[in-house]
Amino acid sequence: MSSAILKIHCTDKKGIISSISSFICRNNGNIITLDEFVDHPSNTFFMRLEWDIFAFSLSREQMEAEIAAMGLEYNYADNWQIFYSDRKPRLAIFVSKYDHCLWDIMLRYKAGELKCDIPLIISNHPDLKQIADLFGIDYKVVKVAPDNKLEAENEQTRLISEYNIDFMILARYMQILSPEFVARFENRIINIHHSFLPAFEGARPYHQAIERGVKLVGATAHFVNNNLDKGPIICQSTMPISHEDSVDDLMVKGRDIEKLVLSQAMKVFLDHRIFVHNNRTIIL
């Protein structure tokens, strides 16, 4: 089955759902899912609609032109996107030396859980090349130092363009991206943070947790923006701990929950379910 997924956000107005649903019906489409939400404080309407296009009477170009024309009437002309199930997004993974998130992504990818192609892994160290080789994925080492950050990011950008990358995952990539790099790929870079944000930022988070006597450890997947670890949150989860847990125990539990949360974030992104509104996400 081939399907199209339409995402719209705009000022709320009567008739948007009716107009698009009627358009799909009269052109021999069949709606699979329709989810919508209105953020009342800002009067903003969000909709994700998926429909079967196997027997659709319009070409994709004609269909998109019709949707754009309706956008002029309903004020979403600049705020809509369409995706097709037969076109998989292309992912680049950024890593350093921690391997647990990379292994998890690779195994889920091989099992067919992730609806994407992964042609490229970029790292500032050579340590994890063997994992890329095992799965037949190109591994590029781009060394990063305080005095070559611009050159390194230019090379990363060149690789992203060369491999036609749609989005990136920072799978425990231990470098801070520049504002210019982040702006170039707005809402297309997902990071996993070893904490239930905003607690325990920075180095040695599990040591901080032990010192504070916390009863939960967690992880947060979020889009990267220019505020360190404060981008729009996609997924979060926690796991109970006790005073009997050592730092090593917390690290093991933390790695487990990082893998789970990151995979959840990837799946909702790949299903085109995320809207970014101000500094938060709407997930339909």
Which amino acid would we find at residue 250? L
Mean pLDDT across the chain: 93
pTM beyond cutoff 0.75 = yes
* Complete DSSP assignment for 24-77: HHHTT-EEEEEEEEEETTTTEEEEEEEEE-TT-SS-HHHHHHHHHHHHHHHT-T
- List, for residues 228-257, the tens digit of each pLDDT value: 778 899 999 998 888 888 889 888 988 999
Beta partners for 110? Answer: none
Instruction: Give the percent of the chain with pLDDT over 90.
Output: 79
- List, for residues 133-153, the tens digit of each pLDDT value: 999 999 999 999 999 999 999
Which amino acid would we find at residue 73? E
- Cβ-based neighbours of 1, under 8 Å, separated by 6 or more: 52, 54, 85
- Predicted local distance difference test score (pLDDT) of residue 196: 58
Of 153, 161, 158, the residue nearest 181 (C-alpha) = 153
Q: Catalytic amino acids?
A: 229
Contacts 24+ apart (CB under 8 A), 198-205: 198/229, 198/230, 201/228, 201/229, 205/254
User: Could you tell me the pLDDT band of residue 204, with boundaries at 50, 70 and 90?
Assistant: confident
- Predicted local distance difference test score (pLDDT) of residue 213: 73
Span 88-113, average pLDDT = 97
